[in-house]
Chains A and B, each alone.
Chain A
Amino acid sequence: MTRRFTHALVVGASSGIGEALARRLAADGTKVALVARRGERLAEIASDINRVAGEERALTFVHDVHNRDEAPALLQEIARTLGGLDLVIYSTGIGHRVSFTEYSTAKDVDMIEVNVLGAMAWLNPVAERFWRLRRGTIVGIGSVAGDRGRSGAPVYNTSKAALHAYLEALRNRVGRRDVKVVTIKPGFVDTPMVADFKNLPMVVSAERAASIILRKAKRGASTAYVPARWRLVSLVVRAIPSFLFKYLQV
């Protein structure tokens, strides 16, 4: 059965896919909490959403996902302010550029903190809440990059692979109580994260990605590639033996 979302929370709503998801949800009538580090940018987006909606449909909460201890109390405050919560999307993600010969532990730790530990800090209390309530949908924005360990982005790949495994484990826990956990694996989405890359294949806009993601979330899909043709690409990429994969520039 298709799910209908009335109250949603988007962590990482100040740009890219998160922003597009927040705008799309609000356009569909969902009351949405926007969470991100950059308060001014959040306020601009919320103001824009509310102007279009003609009512207060977007609320902002400034938060840095490095501050993991804040998540449980902020989650509760958001649920109370919204008047409920049936969809939580963790969309925050960073991909620091590293050169082929660069080994930067600082960059790597930051990616793990934002892409993995931040997700756990938010989605653990969300999963516990939805488990107790026997309802709710969790969406995690992973990446096709998490399907293989590539020479160009070792820890970005690792972070997304870890996120995928974590989301799958959550799904296997809370899915027993009709809670859906949706792993989203976007390919290249036209967001600030890929702005510096040239000639990327199969790029979709953030708006198109958001539309696909919400459709999948409503259906309660387990794992969805965005757009869907990345599933085939990933199938091929994952089938390449390691001894060959190490020679490929992918």
Chain B
Amino acid sequence: MREPLPSRQVEWVEGWGRAVGAAGYVYRPTTVDEVREVLALARAHGVPVVPRGAGRSYGDAALLAEAVVLDLSGMDRIVGWDASTGIVDVEPGVTFRELWRSTLGDGWWPAVVTGTMTPTLGGGLAMNVHGKNNWVRGTLGEHCLELKLLLPSGELRMVTPDDDGDLFHAVIGGFGQLGVIVGARLRLKRVYSGRLEVRAMSAPDLAGMLRQADDAKDRWEYVVGWIDAFAGGRHSGRGLLHFANHLEAGEDAAVEDSLRAEAQDLPARLFGVVPKSALWRVLKPLTNRPGMRLINAAKYRLGSTVGDTKQYRQTLAEFSFLLDYVPGWERVYLPGGLIQHQSFVPVGEAERVFARQLELCRRAGLPSFLAVLKRHRSDPFLLTHAVDGFSLALDFPVTASNRARLWRLVARLAEPVVEAGGRFYPAKDAALPGELYRATFHDGQLERFADVKARTDPERLLRSALADRLLRT
């Protein structure tokens, strides 16, 4: 029998939604050599390795029961920065927060950011995350110029889209299954202000939401919609939209001040009263069906009356990182946690599919507590989740009594997406049946991915619960 792994390394590792978790042997290397040592240790014990960043994937992307967890959040150095070109070299554990705080003063902002600033860039590349400007800027991977990839064999490879396009486009969005991203070179976006011009709109139904989002996509860099998933009948799909553009050079009179990282700090108190750190406790009593129905309805009423067609300026952080307004917000869903499901549907099918999804949720008695709409375009990555169309992200609370029903509901939500030629977003997923995920690929992408995996990781050392479930590589 093999020697056991050190028992002191065992930790409970969860997805961000805290609805799924597993025990793992967690190692936190800070150098490439230490990563190599962890890989060698795992191989010697015959234990798989699951790469992990900040653990901000909602589901099971960065966990695997009883595996070695390669937590790369300690490799968090910005190793090179050129303020004249906006090109940055980072270790994988650098977070979006650390990145923008380091570069904004020089007039550069990440071309793509997630709804929270806490994920790592290594994790962001592995899951190929997108932001509210997906239609304009694509995914994070499209702004990556070079990857430093450590193969399970210990070989370090520099991978660029030109030199090894197949590997590059498979690693980005490849769930961390082909090698460990130990460094990346990214190109940032020039900005001339730390503030955005924001416009708020309301729409009375789903058709209106989709139409307005589509109309806005060529005039606004950022397009995001919030939907009241509790509203049924003719109000189904009603919601609010927010569009935003960066200011052009000369439009911000106080540019030097607004580009300071401190000027981006989110307010410490809500309405100047409730400390941010305590806000989740205030929300917790409302995190149930009646409470969320009330909040959703009130939000719509407020947004569609006093807030409608309003135009104003907001800092980049305020607009971009809504999830960070309430630190630890995911705790309102405890003890069961939450799962999210995000479907991507081609333009022409979106209204039918999303209407069906909202209806299925309501009929199942499991309305989404938070529903978000975005506009997307396709990209060149092998396992891309994006299509030329829209996505609808649905948050669901998990309880001991609804868990099985919820998992069945996710499968039912996915069926019309598959039929419509849509895709799913693995970074958010916890419950999608693998066969439905695989059914969204028709051109041999999964086979090509398996071929790359066989070359870069023939022993299948790198695994995750998500990859085991969806890819079966």
B5 at interface by CB-CB < 8 Å: yes
Query: Chain B residue with minimal CB distance to A80?
Result: B66
Supply 24 A–B pairs (Cβ within 8 Å), ascending by A.
A1-B400, A4-B400, A72-B7, A73-B1, A73-B2, A73-B3, A74-B1, A75-B4, A76-B4, A76-B66, A77-B1, A79-B23, A80-B47, A83-B66, A84-B23, A84-B66, A85-B23, A125-B7, A129-B7, A129-B23, A132-B8, A132-B11, A133-B12, A133-B23
With an 8 Å Cβ cutoff, the count of chain A residues facing the other chain is 21
A70 at interface by CB-CB < 8 Å: yes
A148 at interface by CB-CB < 8 Å: no
Query: Chain B residue with minimal CB distance to A71?
Result: B4
Across-interface contacts of B22 in A (CB, < 8 A)? 84
Across-interface contacts of A129 in B (CB, < 8 A)? 7, 10, 23
A22 to B352, CA, bound (A): 49
A97 at interface by CB-CB < 8 Å: no
A40 at interface by CB-CB < 8 Å: no
Across-interface contacts of A85 in B (CB, < 8 A)? 23
A135 at interface by CB-CB < 8 Å: yes
A74 to B2, CA, bound (A): 9
Give A132 Cβ to nearest chain B Cβ, in Å: 5
Query: Chain A residue with minimal CB distance to B23?
Result: A133
Dominant SS among interface residues on chain A: helix
A135 to B8, CA, bound (A): 15
- Interface set, chain B 5-20, CB cutoff 8 A to A: 5, 7-8, 10-12
Whether the pair B1, A70 counts as a contact (CB closer than 8 A) is yes
A80 to B335, CA, bound (A): 25
Query: Chain A residue with minimal CB distance to B9?
Result: A132
Give A39 Cβ to nearest chain B Cβ, in Å: 15
Given pairs A83-B65, A132-B7, 18 additional interface contacts (CB within 8 A): A4-B400, A72-B4, A72-B7, A73-B1, A73-B2, A73-B3, A74-B1, A79-B23, A83-B66, A85-B23, A129-B10, A129-B23, A132-B8, A132-B12, A133-B10, A133-B11, A133-B12, A135-B12
With an 8 Å Cβ cutoff, the count of chain B residues facing the other chain is 17
A72 to B6, CA, bound (A): 10
A75 to B10, CA, bound (A): 13
Give B430 Cβ to nearest chain A Cβ, in Å: 16
Give A35 Cβ to nearest chain B Cβ, in Å: 13
Give A32 Cβ to nearest chain B Cβ, in Å: 16
Query: Chain A residue with minimal CB distance to B5?
Result: A76
Query: Chain B residue with minimal CB distance to A75?
Result: B4
User: Footprint of B on A, CB under 8 Å?
Assistant: 1, 4, 70, 72-77, 79-80, 83-85, 125, 128-129, 132-135
A76 to B4, CA, bound (A): 6
Give the 4 A-B CB pairs with smallest separation, nearest first. Answer: A80-B66, A76-B4, A73-B4, A133-B12
Across-interface contacts of B8 in A (CB, < 8 A)? 132
Give B126 Cβ to nearest chain A Cβ, in Å: 23
Give B75 Cβ to nearest chain A Cβ, in Å: 24
Give B12 Cβ to nearest chain A Cβ, in Å: 5
Across-interface contacts of A72 in B (CB, < 8 A)? 4, 7
Give A190 Cβ to nearest chain B Cβ, in Å: 34
Query: Chain B residue with minimal CB distance to A70?
Result: B1
Across-interface contacts of B47 in A (CB, < 8 A)? 80
Across-interface contacts of A70 in B (CB, < 8 A)? 1
* Bitwise interface map of B from 60 to 79 toward A, beta carbon under 8 Å scored 1, else 0: 00000110000000000000
A110 to B410, CA, bound (A): 54
A44 to B336, CA, bound (A): 38
Query: Chain A residue with minimal CB distance to B67?
Result: A80
A77 to B335, CA, bound (A): 29
Across-interface contacts of A134 in B (CB, < 8 A)? 12
Across-interface contacts of B2 in A (CB, < 8 A)? 73, 77
Across-interface contacts of B7 in A (CB, < 8 A)? 72, 125, 128-129, 132
Give B440 Cβ to nearest chain A Cβ, in Å: 26
Across-interface contacts of A76 in B (CB, < 8 A)? 4-5, 66
A77 to B1, CA, bound (A): 9
Query: Chain B residue with minimal CB distance to A125?
Result: B7
Across-interface contacts of B4 in A (CB, < 8 A)? 72-73, 75-76
Across-interface contacts of B11 in A (CB, < 8 A)? 132-133
Give B19 Cβ to nearest chain A Cβ, in Å: 14
A128 to B1, CA, bound (A): 21
A79 to B11, CA, bound (A): 13
A170 to B318, CA, bound (A): 49
A128 to B9, CA, bound (A): 11
A93 to B40, CA, bound (A): 41
Whether the pair A79, B12 counts as a contact (CB closer than 8 A) is no
